[in-house]
């Protein structure tokens, strides 16, 4: 039976894996994902590293050999080693796609989510330390993150903008990317090698909105708001990146900033386990899948171009929310705050567990 994951590329979608762990990189597991499933990139975040480092003994030996007292620095060294090794595994994908894919993402400290200057400095430092063409630095789409994104693109970094929920936030992210490119062009610098994705979250929207819909007896909208939101984001993507302003940048060598669908595991057991993949397939998109969703789609996913199906229905869903007095923008702001918190908490847990492990290993 042919692998549905491999068919997604024919519909213009790249699949990245939302998972990283040292053994997977070094025992050929990551290479197998590339060869057998057509995986074209990796995303990581503090929660993923907390799982890998704190909840396994895979990093204990490496930890022993690190001559550092600062816990954050110990974490960084371990993470940098994994990111560099994964970048090396994905380098052939990067080269074959002319820099279109093959990226590995590393996030700035979630503690910097509200610090523009701190984000800029840390992103540049991490980018330089990884020292690989195919690394992307992840920056959240907070009020402080947006100007940082513009500055970092202007400095020539590859940026994965994370924690986007609303259509208005998405627009700001695109604007920051475009302005960053325009600044480089004005300064006479090249833009042909810069890559960026805009990571728009999905299942967390439904997890939050469904509760409100149930209270208001709007059961026919359950499980539909997240998908509708992303379908409308894709329409924004098309109008922004196929318009006259971006055309000039394209001629100067710019690549579009692809929308990346994130948080694509199905939180509600009543919904199909691959619903957030099957409904959002289309040209110039990336979907980043946790292991369980990747395996489910490999097993029974259906690949077809779907991201532009039912656009009118998506608009109607947004209208119905308005009519019911549900303020989606307010909910999205809340999700952004919670999203930052969901990275800060495992980051702090990770640092605590490194402290404990260091004590034991000593």
Residue owning tokens 């800060």: 344
**Assigned CATH for 4-361:** 3.20.20.70
pLDDT digits (tens, 9 = 90+) for 295-325: 999 999 999 999 999 999 999 999 999 999 9
Q: Is 138 a catalytic residue?
A: yes
What is the SS3 string spanning 1-16?
CCCHHHHHHHHCEEEE
Confidence at 359, pLDDT banded by 50, 70, 90: confident
Residue 332 binned pLDDT confidence (cut-offs 50, 70, 90): very high
pLDDT for 362 beyond 80: no
pLDDT in tens, 67-84: 998 999 999 999 999 999
Domain borders along the chain are 4-361
Instruction: Tell me the per-residue pLDDT of 15-71, one tens digit each, with 9 for 90 and over.
Output: 999 999 999 999 999 999 999 999 999 999 988 999 999 889 999 999 989 999 899
What's the pTM?
Answer: 0.97
Reference 175, options 148, 201, 150; nearest CA is: 150
Q: In whole angstroms, give the CA distance from residue 301 to residue 135.
A: 29
**Beta-strand runs (E) in 209-360:** 258-262, 285-289
Task: Please pick, among 138, 208, 342, 357, the residue that the annotation labels catalytic.
Answer: 138
Q: What phi, psi does 14 have (nearest 5°)?
A: -100, 135
Q: Give yes or no for a contact between 180 and 154, defined as CB atoms under 8 angstroms apart.
A: yes
């Amino acid at each position: 039976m042919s692998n549905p994951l491999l068919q997604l590329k024919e519909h213009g979608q790249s699949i990245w894996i939302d998972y990283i762990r040292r053994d997977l990189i070094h025992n050929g597991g990551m290479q197998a994902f590339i060869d057998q499933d057509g995986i074209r990139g990796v995303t990581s975040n503090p929660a993923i590293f907390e799982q890998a480092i704190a909840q396994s003994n895979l990093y204990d030996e490496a930890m022993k050999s690190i001559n550092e007292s600062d816990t954050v620095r110990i974490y960084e060294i371990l993470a940098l080693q994994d990111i560099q090794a994964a970048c090396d595994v994905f380098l052939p994908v990067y080269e074959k796609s002319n820099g279109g894919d093959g990226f590995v993402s590393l996030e700035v400290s979630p503690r910097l989510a509200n610090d523009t200057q701190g984000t800029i400095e840390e992103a540049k430092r991490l980018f330089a330390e990884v020292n690989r063409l195919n690394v992307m630095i992840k920056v959240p789409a907070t009020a402080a993150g947006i100007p940082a994104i513009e500055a970092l693109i202007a400095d020539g970094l590859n940026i994965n903008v994370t924690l986007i929920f609303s259509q208005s936030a998405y627009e700001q992210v695109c604007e920051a990317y475009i302005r960053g490119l325009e600044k480089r062009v004005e300064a006479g610098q090249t833009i042909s090698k810069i890559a960026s994705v805009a990571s728009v979250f999905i299942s967390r929207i439904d997890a939050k909105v469904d509760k409100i819909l149930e209270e208001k007896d709007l059961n026919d909208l359950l499980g539909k708001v997240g998908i509708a939101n992303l379908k409308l984001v894709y329409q924004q993507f098309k109008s922004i990146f196929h318009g006259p302003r971006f055309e000039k940048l394209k001629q100067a060598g710019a690549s579009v900033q692809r929308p990346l669908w994130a948080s694509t595991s199905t939180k509600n057991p009543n919904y199909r386990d691959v619903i957030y993949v099957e409904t959002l397939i289309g040209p110039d998109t990336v979907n980043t899948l946790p292991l369980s969703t990747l395996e489910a789609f490999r097993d029974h996913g259906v690949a077809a171009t779907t991201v532009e199906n039912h656009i009118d229905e998506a608009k109607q869903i947004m209208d119905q929310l308005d009519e019911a007095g549900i303020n989606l923008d307010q909910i999205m702001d809340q999700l952004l705050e919670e999203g930052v918190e969901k990275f800060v908490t495992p980051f702090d847990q990770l640092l605590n567990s490194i402290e404990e492990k260091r004590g034991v290993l000593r």
